[in-house]
Chain A
Amino acid sequence: MSVLSHAAKRRLSDKLLLSLTWFCSFITIAVLVWILSYIVINGITHINWSFLTTIYKPVKGLTGIFPMIISTLMIIGVTVIISTPIGICSAIYLVEYSKPGKLVATIRFATETLAGIPSIIYGLFGFIFFVVALQLKYSILSGALTLSIMVLPTVIRATEEALKSVPDMYREGSLALGASKLTTISRVVLPCAVPGILTALILSIGRIVGETAAVYLTAGYVPNIPSSIMRSGQTLSVHLYTLAKEGISFEQAYATATVLVIIVAILNFIATRVAGKFTKVSTGG
């Protein structure tokens, strides 16, 4: 009798836990669907060609986000140009050259810590170092330099993964044929790791697009088209923040948020595609 009730209790608790996992997963998905649909439904109606291509001069009735798109693209461009080569070279050092020891442990510790530092601290640092000390002022360049340090851990880690997944056989084969280490890396290892490196690139672009706090304190918030990278510019995220915080226009805010969500969704889609190809390549080899 008591054994039976024990078994019944067990069945009950099993069922309860099982439904709890379904329930929590449902919440996770429901939250995502709710946020996305709410933003897109409210925003998509305000997006049209002129919203995307006109400048932002509210006094003249112009409320386009063209300057913000340009600023965002400029920040992405400069950040990628600075951080990608450094990140790839770091990963090459860590995977292909380094021997386990204090130096590698220090580098690993540094990248992990950098990944954990909140963006507002990057903003503070960027402000005091790039904006004030190096006198770059509020500019695209200050923002991009700050973001470069911020995305560096992402680039390094993803590139490392890509390099590690290249089978040692390839390296040995190339070395056995008389190729030098550098030639092996540049002609054999790197080409195999290209999809992984591309994924790293897309991930970091996603972070740059979404970043607000660090950019706000370093690139400033002038809603004009920056004439050079030495000028201040307002990225899409900062624009959305300003619109929402100051309560300027919720219609524009919805529309800007929709543009951001669409950009991120596209980037995610491309990243999954590239990563998918990547696994095919490495298992095919």
Chain B
Amino acid sequence: MSRLRYMTRTLVGPWGAVVVAGLEIANLMQRGRPWRGELVWTVDWLGIVFFAAGPVLAGLSAVDAARITRTESLPVLMVSPQPWRAYLHAVAWTAGPASILHLLAFAAAIAMGWPEVASSSVGWGMVGLALLAQVSQFWWYAALGSVLGRFLSPVAAGLMGAVGGLGAFYLLGSGEGFELLAVGGSTVSRLGLTWNGGYLGLQSTLLIGTSMVMIVVIGGMRGRRPRRDGVVAVGILMAVVVAMLFGPQRRILAMEPDPPTECFWGDPVVCVYPEHGRIADTVYAAVYEAVDAARQNGYGFLVSEYVHEVSRAYFPQDADTKGVGTDQLLSGQEWDDFDLIWDLVTPWHCPEIRDVTAPSDIYFESMEALVFTWLTLLDEPADPQIADLPEDLLEERRLDPAQARETKASLDTCDF
């Protein structure tokens, strides 16, 4: 305990833990926690904190490094055979607590998503690798700050370290292909996707390698073997460049497109993914409400035999199965009638609707006519466009059963 007290009094880096703790809590509480139950999404969501945590840790670490270099520790450094130890020590007290907090946040997130999260088919080894790639980034940002701080006064070091961290986040964290600082940070479901193990492995290796270069090699330049250290530094930096050019290009890969398995065996059969068990009842209720409205008004032919929740990899493969996307429900919002019925009418089995080029206008006109018709059949249309429409206009735009049957049949042929 006295060691912790000593460190928090002599270094500013450990105080970064307070910032990281706040960020982790805020991140776990925001936007209705839609990631609960999904393993890949849970870890990727945790990556959101790096935008703020990375630059702040880099800034704090820069202040410590500037102090170590400029002030009272300098004589100690000069006589030490390993002058980088002081820098490593400061970086460890900056990134270490942050890493522990990040893993605690992961444990809390798993607890929030339990027991659904256990049904994921992604291996825990892969989860560990993804977490390693994230945690290594705390060390990388702290090491970056440490390097910058060595060349700056303590006054300028903090702001410049933070700006440097932001610059690195911008330059090395986005774009196509291999990115050293990619963290995930997805705000939409990742069901049906898994990580690329080769990507994460290379990323972690290079993050740790470059961090060591920044701490040990650049920190030890005053030591006895500057030439050998320089060769190591150049070698690792070249490895980063080569990896960015020729390394694995995709961090996330599509899994086998498996259909959902948690089903309500009514008519139609409605299935959701076990990871989304917490919204299953809401999905069943909403689908059957829409289905009942269609059947009671003589539009039962619009209803398919099966309704499946879709994922990032799986879409229904035949005209008898319709799909529903659940992003709104996952984030705790009401399911929009329009979106639900649009999904129930969509010919998901037609690959043309997912083409890069949008389907023709005829497709959208048919879809809109059918969706409008179905919306008018609901007991209480929540859609204001329908609710406020005069009765005569409503009748005019609504397809009669024969027209609706014909429109649906033409959509299901995938001929747009």
User: Do A and B associate with each other?
Assistant: no
Name B's A-contacting residues (CB within 8 A): none
Name A's B-contacting residues (CB within 8 A): none
